[in-house]
Amino acid sequence: MARDAYVNGRYVPHARAAVHVEDRGFQFADGVYEVVSVRRGRLIDEEGHLDRLDRSLHELRIAWPCDRRVLRLVMRRLLERNGVRDGLVYLQVTRGAAPRDFRFPAAARPTLVITTRRATLAPHARTGVRVVTIPDIRWKRRDIKTVGLLPQVLGKQEAAERGAFEAWQVDEDGFVTEGTSSNAWIVTADGALVTRPASHDILNGITRQSILRVAAAEGLRFEERPFRVEEAYAAREAFLSSATSFVTPVLRIDDRTIGDGAPGALSRKLFDAYLAHASGAGAS
């Protein structure tokens, strides 16, 4: 089946999709992005992702490339054109193309690129994964979902070379910030769910926010606070969350086995509850 992309108002064959060589996203990483998962044709947490896109654009002073309603229609149309029922939508907005200059261009139209692909969501949610810890070397505005991802690229590659699925980044004080492409969670010995609070230090994951709402609805006790690597080693359970991983148990951190080395009861419960949310259970 042919695969299309959407570039600046046009549906084009994916293999020929392109932007200008002086696009500021290419030259300066001057842009933002979102990834929205799709399950059975339904865009999961769509409004949350678009709200975060709006915030990221505002923080970088980039204009919306089109009306929000148009963007929603284009995403659905592209999914239909590409026959994607389970997978993801990737959308990226940059400041646009202009002669290379660090300063904002006086007149440049934002570039909008949207692609889709089929994917198996949360493939390790029932079996669990291993993570490793690495120093957090990113800039100070991690709350903005920019396309400047070189530290995460290096971290993800290091994790792969060490035989792990993900890397958890650690700040200068020994506290876990988040994964290279996920938020980090632990369950304490007395059953409290813990994740780092939203601030400039982490990306406030849309899935993270939904999990907190699900946990509250389930009557689970949770704490938004930093936790050290040593506390994670001693946790009853650990898991990571993202738009494509949902709730995925962490069985080992570095060379330490977490809990009994199997997906924990709370992680499994949250995965099932989030899956119901992703499926639209109770949605109007």
Other CB atoms within 10 A of residue 28 CB: 15
**Could you confirm whether 145 is annotated as catalytic?**
yes
Distance CA 71, CA 273 (A): 29
Place of tokens 């261009």: 105
Q: Which two tokens stand for residue 112?
A: 């909008």
Distance CA 192, CA 189 (A): 8
Q: How far is CA 168 from CA 12, 107, 211, 260, in A?
A: 37, 40, 19, 20
- What secondary structure does DSSP assign to 131-195, as a single string? EEEEE----S-TTS-BS--HHHHHHHHHHHHTT-SEEEEE-TTSBEEEESSSEEEEE-TTS-EEE
Q: Which two tokens stand for residue 220?
A: 């689970």
Catalytic residue, from 140, 145, 156, 269: name it. Answer: 145
Cite the DSSP H helix spans in the chain: 24-28, 46-60, 68-82, 150-161, 206-217, 229-233, 265-278
Q: Which residues pair with 33 in a beta bridge?
A: 92
Which residues does the annotation mark as catalytic? 145
